[in-house]
């Protein structure tokens, strides 16, 4: 029997590469991936060695996308590519890449009557720090920077296409960790390893996500029955206290706990946050908030009778740390 075709965007990125890896391993689908010419050459070369059909181009170029849909019998779309992060003053780029790009993919998907569109959003649509914790799918959207805004707008566009008849699922992952991570967790590891991270004096509760579990979630939702909401908040089984995570990381390298003297009053984080906001350094302003406030979620279970065993952060993060230490 012919395999159905999954079209994936962002397969050269951290999360997308794990999803592509998962689908390759399952060997159920043909995979078509769009990659930018020469941008992430190393990752593209890696995909080339696998059974992935690579198409060069920008996913937010209408003609390129229409050509792909004409050429391949796309049955599913996993839309993972995005301009990510929190750079200030890039509003037009977020709009063009994250919002318009999503719309172009949605239009082609509706026109070609694909079976399902899966959009990788972010818990950032609830704000860097959600208005209530634990946050869940009923928590009000409160995007607080250009990146989060673009994700919220893209979600809204997805829902407009659902009304037009497209079958679509929105996945909202929390901050994700694992092999090839290039975001918050990898910065955390670097800072803790160099004893450069000062912790807030109170126990901040944070909630991360194992990238391998997230890849499983995407693969599951290609065929899962969705009866109620099409929006899913995805996170590990439980939150973790930041100082406990610091201990895990430090122990991995030095076999002892993270020095307790590296703690400062919470007010220092609020002041630092204001300073970073003032000098328009959104990246560090967000980091100050993530380090000093609680952000945790109620992961959504699918309503198709198939419950996920979400990952245990302590176990999976330790395994991730051991793997990166072995690599060095
Ligand atoms: N990482 C997290 O903790 C996290 C948490 C929540 C949600 N998310 C969401 O998960 C998705 C994947 O994130 P990630 O962590 O894997 O990010 P990533 O490593 O930065 O990968 C982003 C992907 O999008 C592509 N991309 C970026 N800018 C582009 C542009 N201007 N034009 C075309 N393609 C572009 C990249 O292509 P190149 O390789 O060519 O640069 C790459 O394949 C995103 O939608 C993000 O919003 C991530």
Which tens digits make up the pLDDT trace of 248-307?
A: 999 999 999 998 776 788 888 899 999 998 888 888 899 999 999 999 999 999 887 778
* Domain boundaries defined on the chain: 4-181+207-237+296-303
Residues with CB under 6 A from ligand 1: 10, 12-16, 36, 39-40, 43, 58-59, 80-84, 97, 120, 122, 173, 175-176, 182-183
Burial degree of 16 (CB within 10 A; 0-12, 13-18, 19+): buried
Dump pLDDT digits (tens) for 180-208. Answer: 998 999 999 999 999 999 999 888 999 99
Distance between Cα 326 and ligand 1 center (Å) = 26
Q: What's the confidence (pLDDT) of residue 1? A: 55
Q: Residue 264 has which token pair?
A: 């400062």
Q: DSSP code of 298? A: -
pLDDT of residue 90: 83
C-alpha to C-alpha distance for 218 and 224, rounded to whole angstroms: 10
Ligand 1 centre to CA of 42 (Å) is 15
- Using CA atoms, how far apart are residues 182 and 178, in angstroms rounded to an integer? 9
Give distance in angstroms: CA of 78 to centre of ligand 1: 12
- Contacts of residue 33, defined as CB under 8 A and 6 or more positions apart, other chains included, come to 7, 8, 9, 11, 12, 16, 20, 47, 52, 53, 54, 55
pLDDT digits (tens, 9 = 90+) for 130-167: 999 999 999 999 999 999 999 999 999 999 999 999 99
What pLDDT sits at residue 328?
63
Tokens of 295: 């952000």
Mean pLDDT of 109-138: 97
pLDDT at site 72: 97
Please, are residues 136 and 298 in contact by the beta-carbon 8 Å criterion?
yes
pLDDT value at 177 more than 60: yes
pLDDT, the chain, mean: 92
CA 30 to ligand 1 center in whole angstroms:
22
Quote the pLDDT of residue 263.
Answer: 74
pTM: 0.96
The ligand 1 atom nearest the CA atom of 43: 39
Classify residue 22 by its DSSP letter.
Answer: H
Long-range CB contact pairs, 256-263, < 8 A, 24+? 258/192, 258/195, 258/199, 259/195, 262/195, 262/197, 262/198, 262/199, 263/198, 263/199, 263/200, 263/201
CATH class held by domain 4-181+207-237+296-303: alpha beta
CA distances from 250 to 259, 274, 289, 314, 320 (A): 9, 29, 22, 13, 13
Mutate-to-test residue for ligand 1 from 47, 81, 151, highest number of ligand atoms within 8 A of CB: 81
Q: In whole angstroms, what is the distance from residue 300 CA to residue 171 CA?
A: 10
């Amino acid at each position: 029997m012919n395999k159905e075709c999954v079209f994936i965007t962002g397969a050269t990125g951290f999360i997308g590469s794990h999803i592509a890896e998962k689908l390759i391993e399952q060997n159920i689908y043909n995979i078509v991936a769009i990659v930018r010419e020469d941008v992430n050459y190393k990752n593209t070369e890696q995909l080339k060695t696998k059974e992935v059909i690579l198409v060069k181009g920008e996913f937010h170029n209408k003609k390129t996308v229409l050509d792909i849909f004409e050429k391949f019998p796309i049955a599913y779309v996993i839309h993972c590519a995005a301009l990510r992060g929190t750079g200030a003053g890039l509003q037009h780029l977020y709009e063009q890449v994250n919002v318009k790009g999503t719309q172009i993919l949605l239009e082609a998907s509706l026109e070609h009557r694909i079976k399902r569109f899966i959009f990788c959003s972010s818990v950032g649509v609830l704000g860097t720090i959600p208005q209530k914790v634990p946050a869940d799918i009923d928590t009000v959207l409160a995007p607080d920077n250009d990146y989060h805004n673009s994700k919220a707008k893209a979600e809204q566009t997805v829902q407009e296409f659902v009304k037009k008849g497209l079958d679509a699922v929105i996945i909202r992952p929390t901050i994700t960790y694992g092999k090839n991570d290039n975001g918050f967790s990898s910065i955390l590891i670097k800072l803790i390893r160099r004893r450069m991270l000062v912790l807030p004096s109170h126990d901040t509760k944070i909630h991360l996500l194992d990238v391998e579990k997230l890849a499983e979630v995407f693969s599951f939702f290609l065929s899962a029955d969705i009866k109620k909401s099409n929006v899913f908040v995805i996170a590990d089984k439980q939150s973790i206290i930041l100082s406990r995570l610091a201990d895990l990381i430090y122990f991995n390298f030095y076999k002892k706990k993270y020095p307790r003297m590296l703690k400062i009053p919470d007010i220092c984080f609020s002041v630092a946050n204001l300073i970073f906001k003032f000098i328009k350094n959104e990246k560090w302003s967000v980091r100050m908030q993530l380090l000093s406030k609680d952000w945790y979620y109620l992961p959504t279970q699918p309503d198709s009778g198939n419950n996920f065993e979400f990952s245990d952060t302590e176990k999976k993060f330790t395994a991730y740390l051991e793997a990166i230490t072995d690599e060095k």
